[in-house]
Amino acid sequence: MTHETPIRVDHTGIAVDSISDAESVLFAFGCRKLIEESVEGRFRWAQYDFGRNASRLELIAPEAEDTFLTDYLDEHGPGLHHVTLEVADIDAVATAIEAAGLDVVEYREYDDWTEAFVPPSNPTGALFQLFEYHEGYDEGRPAAEKLYVDGTRLGER
């Protein structure tokens, strides 16, 4: 099964022990910091890019003692954690992925976005996050140019 749903790489996530320690590397590459947020006191994420419409990198670091991220860092150490794909229609993409014999797990709907994951047990060995921004995601957050790869979410096109 195929789909015609627009998809693009939103960002690549890198697990680190400390954002403040690791971001100096990204700054040396010429990145600019776009946003930093805490997720329920469990972990913190910050995104960086190389300029408008450019690729983005994300640093994720634990804030609590016992989370998926502390487990990941204990087992693997700092490094590549996930690739997030922005999708215009997550249900169409998930259906196509499952029809190809791959697993889609941890499907979660929130007010402002929907996400699901393709676990690293797939033949690439990479964890993929599927992410569909909903209308209103940018309310109360930094400007759209800092949130979306080209300043707009795929669903707005």
**Cβ-defined contacts of 112-121 (< 8 Å, 24+):** 112/136, 112/137, 112/139, 113/137, 114/90, 115/90, 116/90, 117/82
The total domain count for the chain is 1
121 CB contacts (<8 Å, ≥6 apart)?
103
141 within some domain: yes
52 or 138, higher pLDDT: 138
Tell me the C-alpha distance between 103 and 29, whole Å: 35
1 within some domain: no
79 within some domain: yes
Q: Is the pLDDT of residue 113 over 60?
A: yes
Q: Is the pLDDT of residue 139 over 90?
A: no
Q: Is the pLDDT of residue 101 over 90?
A: yes
19 within some domain: yes
Q: Is the pLDDT of residue 114 over 90?
A: yes
Query: In this structure, what CATH number is given to the domain that contains residue 13?
Result: 3.10.180.10
Mean pLDDT, residues 14-20 taken together: 97
Residue 57 domain boundaries: 7-156
Are the CB atoms for 12 and 34 separated by under 8 Å?
no
Tell me the C-alpha distance between 1 and 3, whole Å: 7
2 within some domain: no
